[in-house]
């Protein structure tokens, strides 16, 4: 008998009809004789609705009270789902995070899961019952309701799977799995049968929205196999697991992209120790995350510095940098928020040369200017003009033969 944790997101439980659909799927696993624990998110956009409700009343609600409010979204969906299951003669019990005791830190709105008490869940499983657990929430050591950050139900599911030593954690959602790239941009994109944790972390970190980054980190840390599949259609989806050493990995598995970028380039800075620090420290002090950084020497003892931030931080960063540059009268600043980043990801890059050369060859052929580059062992990221992004992604998808084979 296998033990599976299945997580259904907001769109999968977005209506009563969809809750019936979920119940039917749970029933199938239960009928097979496997143990199943279900984790559900709030119905549709319920969490946003609750947030709007609070903010319409008070602009900055007390975080403890906001968590008490937001946690109700999940409480509704698990109760409804458990009711339907019971009506189908499948013994089910809904639980809030506090009832299970999903123990978290006390940082309201972004609490960390510290441990999960599994006694009640194990007793249910032993008795053939289906626990249906509210995602996204827990309880602090003071007994207060906490939430673990938007989109956190994926993490709840993985944490439960780890605590229960489940065989697999399945994230059932509105897409068929993890694709070579976003199929809305490249219709030939293919659903990947498997990807490694490392690749998934890069893809999720670079803007592929299928899975919550924290959930993937958690799964990797505890080596919990994760499967992303459709909540609506049959299909094996994508298995995310440890890299298989026996199978030769494809050089490139996927291409992720992110439009929310802004770029700053400062030319003619003094080429001496401490310049980058003087510019970037105030940016980081303002809690602005700097992503790509390139420093290059230019003639006459000068150097140039380029970096990127999230587009939402563009205006604030510009203000900070312009103020600092008053102390560097010979430098010039170019800033734009019309740039996008794409990342080519694959564990096979480790053992293959020439990935970057083919990438630049493709950009040359397409006459797309590469503004910045950064690399890791299994990833090459490029910053390009936003309007060229789509063409770049399509061309690279062809270059690395990622399309559906005919």
Three-state SS string over 214-261 comes to HHHHHHHHCCCCEEEEECCCCCCCEEEECCCCCCCCCCCCEEEEEEEE
| Closest to Mg ion by CB, 172 or 280 | 172
- From the list 8-16, 106-114, 196-204, 370-378, the region that binds Mg ion by CB under 5 A is 8-16
| Closest to Mg ion by CB, 47 or 206 | 47
- As measured in angstroms, the least distance from the Cβ of 145 to Mg ion is 17
| DSSP letter (8 states) at residue 35 | E
341 three-class SS = strand
| Closest to ligand ASP by CB, 10 or 35 | 10
- 353, HSE (Cβ side, Cα atoms, 13 Å): 0
Inter-residue contact 210 to 1 (CB < 8 Å): no
Could you list the residues that contact ligand ASP (CB under 6 A)? Answer: 9-10, 41-42, 47, 73, 135-136, 150-153
Inter-residue contact 202 to 350 (CB < 8 Å): no
Among 6, 12, 25, 41, binds Mg ion (CB under 5 A): 41
Q: Give the one entry of Mg ion, ligand ASP, none that residue 153 binds, where binding means its C-beta sits below a cut-off of 5 to 8 angstroms depending on kind.
A: ligand ASP
Per-residue buried b or exposed e for 2-30, using 16+ beta carbons within 10 Å of the residue's own CB? eebbbbbbbbbbbeeebbebbbebbbebb
Inter-residue contact 257 to 206 (CB < 8 Å): yes
Cβ contacts of residue 271 below 8 Å, gap of 6+?
A: 297, 298, 301, 302, 303
Q: Give the one entry of ligand ASP, Mg ion, none that residue 73 binds, where binding means its C-beta sits below a cut-off of 5 to 8 angstroms depending on kind.
A: ligand ASP
- As measured in angstroms, the least distance from the Cβ of 226 to ligand ASP is 15
- Is 138 near Mg ion (CB under 5 A)? no
Q: Give the one entry of Mg ion, ligand ASP, none that residue 306 binds, where binding means its C-beta sits below a cut-off of 5 to 8 angstroms depending on kind.
A: none
- As measured in angstroms, the least distance from the Cβ of 10 to Mg ion is 3
Among 4, 10, 240, 252, binds Mg ion (CB under 5 A): 10
- From the list 10-18, 175-183, 284-292, 319-327, the region that binds Mg ion by CB under 5 A is 10-18
Residue carrying structure tokens 């906001």: 66
Binding site for Mg ion (CB under 5 A): 10, 41, 47
């Amino acid at each position: 008998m296998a033990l599976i944790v299945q997580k259904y997101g907001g769109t999968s439980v977005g209506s009563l009809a969809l809750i019936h659909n979920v119940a039917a799927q749970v029933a199938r696993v239960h009928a097979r004789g496997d143990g199943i624990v279900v984790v559900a998110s709030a119905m549709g956009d319920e969490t946003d609705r609750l947030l709007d409700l609070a903010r319409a009343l008070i602009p900055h609600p007390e975080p403890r009270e906001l968590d008490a409010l937001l946690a109700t979204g999940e409480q509704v969906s698990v109760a409804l789902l458990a009711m339907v299951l019971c009506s189908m003669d499948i013994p089910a019990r809904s639980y809030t995070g506090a009832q299970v005791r999903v123990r978290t830190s006390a940082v309201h709105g972004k609490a960390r899961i510290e441990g999960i008490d599994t006694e009640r869940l194990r007793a249910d499983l032993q008795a053939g019952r289906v626990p249906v657990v509210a995602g996204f929430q827990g309880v602090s050591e003071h007994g207060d309701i906490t939430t673990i950050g938007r989109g956190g139900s994926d993490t709840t599911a993985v944490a439960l799977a780890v605590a229960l030593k489940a065989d697999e954690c399945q994230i059932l959602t509105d897409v068929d799995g993890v694709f070579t790239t976003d199929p809305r941009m490249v219709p030939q994109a293919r659903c990947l049968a498997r990807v490694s944790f490392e690749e998934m972390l890069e893809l999720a970190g670079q803007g592929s929205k299928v899975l919550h980054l924290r959930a993937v980190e958690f799964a990797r840390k505890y080596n919990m196999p994760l499967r992303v599949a459709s909540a609506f259609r049959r299909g094996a989806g994508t298995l995310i697991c440890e890299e298989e050493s026996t199978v030769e990995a494809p050089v490139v598995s996927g291409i992720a992209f992110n439009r929310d970028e802004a770029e700053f380039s400062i030319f003619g800075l003094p080429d001496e120790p401490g310049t980058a620090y003087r510019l970037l420290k105030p940016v980081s002090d303002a809690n602005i995350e700097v992503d790509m950084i390139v420093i290059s020497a230019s003639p006459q003892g000068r150097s140039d510095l380029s970096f990127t931030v999230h587009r939402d931080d563009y205006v604030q960063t510009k203000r900070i940098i312009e103020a600092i540059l008053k102390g560097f009268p010979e430098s010039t600043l170019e800033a734009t928020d019309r740039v996008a980043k794409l990342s080519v990801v694959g564990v096979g890059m480790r053992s293959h040369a020439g990935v970057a050369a083919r990438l630049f060859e493709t950009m040359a052929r397409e006459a797309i200017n590469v503004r910045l580059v950064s690399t890791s062992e299994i990833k090459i990221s490029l910053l390009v003009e936003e309007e060229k992004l789509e063409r770049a992604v399509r061309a690279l998808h062809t270059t690395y033969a990622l399309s559906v084979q005919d």
